[in-house]
């Protein structure tokens, strides 16, 4: 089996901007500070964001998972160290990975909160670090994904073309930009040039759950469980704007990946769309000679971590638009036994070997136009081969304090500089 995960995460190392921000702007670059409580926090132009513990739970006991801040010392090194990340990927049997950002927010909102020329420089610097340093350290193992200055149309178009020329295959964008004070995806005067640039370059627009939490008008006394469970439903709201708005119907080459939203919402959503289109004729919507469900499938890739019931209707969803993801190092991820979990779930759903190959790597590689075997023999990308390279990887569960002790005694093997 071959596993390509198109939704994992990197907790960015604190020195990431050092080699990518021009000297005259170094003092304005985002930086990590340690507050008077010993908590490490990213700061950009006075705005603070921390590394939440739930973003890096791999190898922690479950009773220590939570929303509280986490220091780099407490984390498993594979969370922020690219060399250790590849070792963890090998142990998990994952050949290739796409890594979404952490401190910037999934749609770079922490940077884009400030709409000025310096932020354009910082967005570009982040992308250069991600493409030229993180992904380039193991170019056969990572599918790069970039950020965009979502408040600046000209800046977005230039950055799409710039990073596409560097081999970047995707960008992460807001699910619902109107929640961030931007025009909605219905507004082609604003988003049209961006959609055109994405279409011209073949760069995929990734909509990761979480950036649209603001659409959930939950009860003030609702538990956090509500937010975590319902986050996947925001993918359907984003899909509605893109399918029934002008994006999917105007730009035939535009591609969207619904990241971590799962696939269970899709059958009902598409059935409802087709029924609405044929029944509510008075609205005079025009999908040409296709049904809305067909247009959605033409443009979309739907990504899941685990979805046992929906996999049983994979053909109704569209076997060619389903892709698996690991979500390392978040609380939803499977590590170090992803291969066993994925295989068991797919075989329980009656998936054939052909179906499994499509879902675990072929659909992703085709959609992102990424050749997994450009420099690597196919047999060297298998779970079995990768695990042979990782026999010495420690998979034990350790309390956060124990990880900190290893870090401070320099036994963790990381080269991170705080």
pLDDT band at 415 (very low <50, low <70, confident <90, very high): low
Look at residue 72 in the predicted model and tell me its pLDDT.
93
The pLDDT of residue 417 is above 60? no
Look at residue 52 in the predicted model and tell me its pLDDT.
73
The pLDDT of residue 21 is above 90? yes
pTM: 0.95
Q: Which of 83-87, 236-240, 411-415 has the lowest mean pLDDT?
A: 411-415
Q: Are 177 and 113 in contact (CB under 8 A)?
A: no
The pLDDT of residue 96 is above 50? yes
Q: For residue range 101-122, what is the model confidence (pLDDT) as tens digits? A: 999 998 899 999 999 999 999 9
- What is the arithmetic mean of pLDDT over 123-134? 98
pLDDT band at 412 (very low <50, low <70, confident <90, very high): low
- What is the arithmetic mean of pLDDT over 47-53? 78
Look at residue 25 in the predicted model and tell me its pLDDT.
97
The pLDDT of residue 416 is above 60? no
- What is the arithmetic mean of pLDDT over 292-313? 98
Look at residue 116 in the predicted model and tell me its pLDDT.
96
As a whole-number percent, the residues of the chain with pLDDT over 90 amount to 86
Look at residue 232 in the predicted model and tell me its pLDDT.
87
Look at residue 193 in the predicted model and tell me its pLDDT.
98
- What is the arithmetic mean of pLDDT over 4-26? 96
Q: Which residues of 16-26 are buried (b: 16+ CB within 10 A; e: fewer)?
A: bbeebbeeeee
Q: Which of 10-19, 34-43, 169-178 has the lowest mean pLDDT?
A: 34-43
Look at residue 411 in the predicted model and tell me its pLDDT.
62
Domains and CATH numbers, the chain: 4-412 (3.20.20.140)
Q: For residue range 244-274, what is the model confidence (pLDDT) as tens digits? A: 999 999 999 999 999 999 999 999 999 999 9
Average pLDDT, the chain: 94
> Which comes out higher in pLDDT, residue 183 or 229?
183
Look at residue 67 in the predicted model and tell me its pLDDT.
83
pLDDT band at 66 (very low <50, low <70, confident <90, very high): confident
- What is the arithmetic mean of pLDDT over 369-382? 96
- What is the arithmetic mean of pLDDT over 178-193? 97
Look at residue 418 in the predicted model and tell me its pLDDT.
42
> Which comes out higher in pLDDT, residue 36 or 255?
255
């Amino acid at each position: 089996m071959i596993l390509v995960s198109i939704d994992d995460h990197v907790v960015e190392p604190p020195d990431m901007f050092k080699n990518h921000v021009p000297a005259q702007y170094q003092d304005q670059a985002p930086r990590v500070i340690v507050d008077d409580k010993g908590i490490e926090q990213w700061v950009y132009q006075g705005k603070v964001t921390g590394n939440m513990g739930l973003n890096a739970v791999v190898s922690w006991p479950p009773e220590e998972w939570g929303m509280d801040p986490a220091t780099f010392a407490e984390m498993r090194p594979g969370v922020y160290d690219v060399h250790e990340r590849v070792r963890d990927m090998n142990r998990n049997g994952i050949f290739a990975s796409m890594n979404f950002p952490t401190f910037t927010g999934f749609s770079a909102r922490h940077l884009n909160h400030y709409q000025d020329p310096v932020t354009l420089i910082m967005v570009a610097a982040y992308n250069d670090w991600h493409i030229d340093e993180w992904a380039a350290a193991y170019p056969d193992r990572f599918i790069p994904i970039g950020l965009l200055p979502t408040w600046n149309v000209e800046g977005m178009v230039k950055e799409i073309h710039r990073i596409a020329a560097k081999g970047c295959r995707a960008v992460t964008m807001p699910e619902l930009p109107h929640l961030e004070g931007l025009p909605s995806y219905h507004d082609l005067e604003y988003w049209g040039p961006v959609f055109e640039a994405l279409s011209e370059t073949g760069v995929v627009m990734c909509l990761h759950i979480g950036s649209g939490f603001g659409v959930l008008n939950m009860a003030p006394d609702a538990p956090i469980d509500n937010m975590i469970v319902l986050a996947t439903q925001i993918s359907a709201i984003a899909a509605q704007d893109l399918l029934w708005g002008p994006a999917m119907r105007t730009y035939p080459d535009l591609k969207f990946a619904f990241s971590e939203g799962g696939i269970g919402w899709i059958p009902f959503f598409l059935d409802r769309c087709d029924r609405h289109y044929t029944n509510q004729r008075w609205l005079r919507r025009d999908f040409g000679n296709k049904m809305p469900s067909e247009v959605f499938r033409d443009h979309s890739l739907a990504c899941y971590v685990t979805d046992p019931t929906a996999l049983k209707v994979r053909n109704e969803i569209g076997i060619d638009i389903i892709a698996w993801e690991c979500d390392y190092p978040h609380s939803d991820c499977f590590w170090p036994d992803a291969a066993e979990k994925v295989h068991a779930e797919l075989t329980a759903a009656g998936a054939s070997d052909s179906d499994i190959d499509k879902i675990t790597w072929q659909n992703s590689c085709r959609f992102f136009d990424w050749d997994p075997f450009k420099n690597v023999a196919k047999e060297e990308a298998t779970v079995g081969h990768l695990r042979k390279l990782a026999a010495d990887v420690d998979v034990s569960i350790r309390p956060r304090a124990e990880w900190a002790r290893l870090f401070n005694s320099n036994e963790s093997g990381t080269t991170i500089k705080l």
